[in-house]
Each structure stands twice: as C-alpha cells, then as structure tokens.
Amino acid sequence: MSNQVSGSSSVATAHSGPSGAVPFSAGGCAAPDQDAPFVGASAAGAGETVISGTVKAAGAPVPGAYVRLLDSAGEFTAEVVASSEGRFRFFARPGSWTVRALAPGRSGQVQLEAAAGTVTEATVHLA
C-alpha cells in the first residue's frame, strides 16, 4: 500500500509500515513523522530511494531544524522538520540531491547521490 506524499513529482511515495498505516506528522502535515520507526531500504519501492540523516551543530543533534531537499538544479522539492533527535527522512527518486538544514542563526548543507532501492544516510553540520 502506498500513499502519495507531496505535490512535487520528485517526491515519490510513503509506504505503509508493519501496521499498514503511514505514520504522518501531527498537525495535518503530509510529511512522514520523523520519529516514527523506519524499516530501512525495504520501504523504498522500485525506482525510489530514501534519504535519511541527522542535523547536528557542535556534535549535538538539532531538533526542530528545517530540512530541505533540493534537486540537481537546486530547485526546492520538499521540506520536513527534524525530529526531537535531529533526524529527517525523504522518499525521492534516485539521483543527485542537496540536503539543506536551517536553524536560527545557522545553516548547512550536504550534496549526495542516492541510488534506487537504497537508504542514503547523511549528516548535515550547521555552522
């Protein structure tokens, strides 16, 4: 079972977990709950990838940071709020991506290549 996640064609789908329900964020946001358990690469459907990681500043997680996914042309694709442990997750198409994180007075980004059927881990360090 899968549910459409974003209005952007670059963001694929969120797949249901063991209970059959997709755990979406509170407050009506269509982004998956960033604290929800994750089942790994099996959550990525055929032709999809998962980009997951942590936002850190001075080695500590940054909860509540805004994390943006930008495509290879630098165009905004999706945004989530980092969990209480600084974690984020996107479901996307394979390819080149930039993950940018923003918090009051700080920002950082990382560029990555994400392959189909895999989970690409990234740590975004804020300066």
**Residues 78 and 34: beta-carbon distance below 8 Å:** no
Number of domains in the chain: 1
pLDDT surpasses 70 at 39: no
- The domain that contains 99 carries what CATH number? 2.60.40.10
Strands (E) located in 1-127: 2-4, 13-15, 49-57, 60-61, 66-70, 76-81, 87-92, 95-103, 106-114, 119-125
pTM of the complete model: 0.70
Dump pLDDT digits (tens) for 49-101: 999 999 999 999 999 999 999 999 999 999 999 999 999 999 999 999 999 99
The CB-side HSE value for 53 (13 A sphere, CA atoms) comes to: 23
Q: Report percent pLDDT > 70 for the chain.
A: 64
Domain span including residue 7: 2-125
Locate all alpha helices (DSSP H) within 31-114, ordered by sequence: none
Pairing mode of beta strands 49-57, 13-15: unpaired
Helix (H) or strand (E) holding 41: none
